[in-house]
Amino acid sequence: MSEQLDNIKTSAEFIKSKFPKNFKPLTGIISENNFNIFGEFKVFSETDFSDIPGFNISKKGQGKVLFARSKNADVLIYKGRLHYYDDASMRDIGHTVYTMKYLGVKKLISVDEVGHLNPRYNCGEIALIYDHINLTGDNPLIGRNEDELGLRFPDMSNAYNKDLHDKVYKVLQEKQIKINDAVYLGITGPQSETEAEARFYRDIGADVVGYSMVSENIASVHCGMKFTGIGLITRELVADVMLEDDRDEKEKGKDQKESLKKAEKTLNKLLENIIKNI
């Protein structure tokens, strides 16, 4: 057994030892540590990332694994994630996703904070991701492939699983939520985007920009987990509008927090229905 696979199984065994009685999660969620989107969930217990052997945390990220229930469905939640811009390697990020696979998760929902390039979108809304462009210059599959995890050259043509996407789309329709069907562009961060970069990203077909979802998606596809992505839109990156923005950094930060709260409130009301229907 390779060191990579051994570490994944070690992490999975530890987390499984913390499972509540009869806990069998088929759905997993990855979110930021500060997202308030789980108000409708019953959380049985939790464990810190820093306690999990093999998670390789150090200063690379903080978070908890939540053992939760959404109506009648058990859900494994990472409230927190590793970030490439915090010096976590892509392999470290992939490790957290692969661990979910070995815990029985079949479907993964990734929730990320994003800026919008598409002028039809607004801050405070949510984006439903159907594809991505990877401009991080890296990915979690570089290096030796572990065949037990997945193929050396996985097919990414259905990376954001169409069946899951269509089911989430239908939930948004039924709840009369504006649907921002989006291509996600992944970059490293943590600096904000220049006006020229924002114009370029839009020109190549991206609707939103974020720092985390692409690596999680690649690892999920590699190991055979169905994946759907949701963006919480908090920043406006429409090129011409950026040049006219005369807010100072304090005002921008305040507006970003307000947009996050608005988007969180929308998703908080939808998540249980999404899980029920996917």
Select the more confidently predicted residue: 10 or 245.
Answer: 10
- Mean local confidence (pLDDT), 225-239: 96
Interacting residues of 127 by C-beta distance below 8 A, sequence separation 6+? 114, 116, 121, 180, 181, 182, 184, 207, 208, 230, 231, 233
Write the pLDDT tens digit of every residue in 197-227. Answer: 999 999 999 999 999 999 999 999 999 999 9
59, pLDDT greater than 60: no
In whole angstroms, how large is the CA radius of gyration of the chain?
18
Report the C-alpha gap between 264 and 102 in whole angstroms: 29
pLDDT recorded at residue 58: 55
Percent of the chain with pLDDT over 90: 86
User: Domains, the chain, ranges and CATH?
Assistant: 3-277 (3.40.50.1580)
CA dihedral 81, 84, 87, 90 (to 10 degrees): 90
Report the C-alpha gap between 50 and 47 in whole angstroms: 9
Report the C-alpha gap between 32 and 262 in whole angstroms: 16
pLDDT recorded at residue 61: 53
SS3 per-residue string spanning 41-97: CEEEEEEEHHHCCCCCCCCCCCCEEEEEEECCEEEEEEECCCCHHHCCCHHHHHHHH
pLDDT category at 55 given cuts 50, 70, 90 is confident
Of the segments 22-26, 84-88, 247-251, which one has the largest average pLDDT value? 22-26
Select the more confidently predicted residue: 250 or 30.
Answer: 30
User: Can you give the pTM of this predicted structure?
Assistant: 0.95
Percent of the chain with pLDDT over 70: 98
**90-102 and 3-17 helices cross at what angle (nearest 10)?**
50
The residues that bridge with 183 in the sheet, in sequence order, are 131
Write the pLDDT tens digit of every residue in 100-125. Answer: 999 999 999 999 999 999 999 999 99
Write the pLDDT tens digit of every residue in 8-25. Answer: 999 999 999 999 999 999
251, pLDDT greater than 90: no
Q: Where are the alpha helices (DSSP H) in the chain?
A: 3-17, 90-102, 162-174, 195-203, 213-222, 239-244, 249-277
Average pLDDT, the chain: 94
pLDDT recorded at residue 42: 95
> In degrees rounded to 5, what are phi and psi of residue 101?
-55, -45
